[in-house]
Structure formats: C-alpha cells, structure tokens
Amino acid sequence: MRPIRTAQLLGLALCALGALWSGRAASGEPGSPETARSALARALQARYPEITRFELAPLSEEARRRSAAAPSVPGFEIPADVALEKRIRIWAITAGKDGANRRAPWWWAVKAFGPAMVARRGLRAGEQIHPTDIAVEERDLTESPGLLLTADPGVGGARWRVTRFIRAGATLRRSDLEPAPQVARGQEIRVSVVSDAYTIETTGIARDEGRVGDVVAVTKPGTSERYFAEVTGEREALIRGKP
C-alpha cells in the first residue's frame, strides 16, 4: 500500500474541518440578538452588494424582549437564500423546559439604503433627458433591489429618453430610460439620394421614428407624398434612386 502523503493528510483535515463548520452553521451560531442582527446584515450584504447600509429592527415580541434584556440564545439560523424584503424571518434556537432545542421565528423590519437615480423634475414619456434632470441620492431600496437605476447610464454623452411619466423626486427604474432614436417622428431630416450617376441632398419630414438601419417613411415638406429611406445617423437618412 502506498503511504499517504502529508499534503493528502492536510486535505483530509481541511475537508473534515469544513464539514464541522457547515454543521455548526446549519445548527445556528450562539449569540445575542445584536449578533443575529449583524449576521443578517452580512448575509444580505453578500447577496446585494449595491446596498451601502442596513437598518434592522426586531418585530417579533420574543426578539424585542431579548433585545431589551440582551441575553444570549443557544443559536439562530438565517436562510441561505434570504431575500431583501421589508420583513425578514430568521430562526432563534431556544431550549425548552425538557432541554430539547426548539426553533422560534424572529421577524425583523428591514430598510436597505443605497444610491439611486432620482428625477429632479417631472418627466414626460418620450421626452429627451438631460444631465441636469437627474441626480444621485441615497434611497431605501428594500422593495426594488436590482430594478432601480443606481448610476448615470451616460446621459451626458448620448441621447436618452423617458419611457413613462415620472414625477419629480421619484426614483428611476432601469426600464424608465432608453436610448433615443436617431430620427424622431415629425422631425425634419436630411435625406441623401444616391444613384450611380449622381448624389442629391434634400430634406424631408420623418413620419416614423427609427434608429440606424431602420427604414422610415418620409414626406416632402408641404406635401403628403411618401417615400422610404434608411436611417444612417442623427437626423439623416439615405435612399437609392429618385424618391
């Protein structure tokens, strides 16, 4: 039989230590409600790194009583998949009169604060947004983790527009802004007419909105005659042949 190497023995020891730690975590960590509060905050922070601070207050009568008296409890359990909600339940491990361990629910009120983009004025659906229209503020993100816009998407360097009405002071969701199209409906645009023999520059009124590569309907100013052109840039479109 081949001798077991020192590295193999070390690996077995680490595996055993890991198993012991996992069992301890599953059965709960001993400590006070303050320990439970800190552990819950760490668990939430690990899942939601965009949160900068938490406010956790006990809701359950048992948790409030223990918080006031600050005694230690045999242990507590925090679900591995704990989600960010206004009310979160963890489990306190308590000892019954018969000496057996029991699980009692601990409810906590939760507030989770982080950066969020906020409208500085009322914004209408379809309106182009400017850097001065939004600002970063600390807000309670408890009910909308991952849904809110937490940083400027680049409003100063590109054209963005609002997808719905947003009141002044409201937080912006990721779906509230979208890149504005290069051509807007009703906008006067420059149309390049290109053929094998010539190139003509003219103007037209866009009857559709479109982004680069889209084909939009265009009319001559003052007429209802329509033709179609491909959007090539900001207020620019291209057609081949005579419109």
CATH 2.30.30.760 range(s) for the chain read 188-240
Per-residue pLDDT reduced to its tens digit, 123-178: 999 898 999 999 999 999 997 877 888 888 888 777 899 999 999 999 999 899 99
Query: Angle formed by the axes of helices 33-47 and 61-69, to 10°?
Result: 120
Q: Which CATH architecture has domain 114-179?
A: Alpha-Beta Complex (3.90)
Predicted TM-score of the model (pTM): 0.63
Residues with Cβ within 8 Å of residue 156, at least 6 apart in sequence:
131
Q: What percent of the chain has pLDDT over 90?
A: 47
The rounded distance, in Å, linking the Cα atoms of 112 and 82 is: 14
What is the pLDDT at residue 98? 77
Contact 91, 77 (CB under 8 A): yes
CATH 3.90.1210.10 range(s) for the chain read 114-179
DSSP class per residue in 143-158: T-TTTB--S--STTTS
Fold of 188-240: SH3 type barrels. (2.30.30)
Per-residue pLDDT reduced to its tens digit, 181-229: 999 899 999 999 998 788 889 999 999 999 999 999 999 988 888 999 9
Question: Which amino acid, one-letter code, is at 76?
Answer: F
Question: Half-sphere exposure of 228 toward its Cβ, with a 13 Å CA cutoff?
Answer: 4
The rounded distance, in Å, linking the Cα atoms of 204 and 190 is: 6
What is the pLDDT at residue 72? 53
Is the pLDDT at 17 greater than 60, yes or no? no
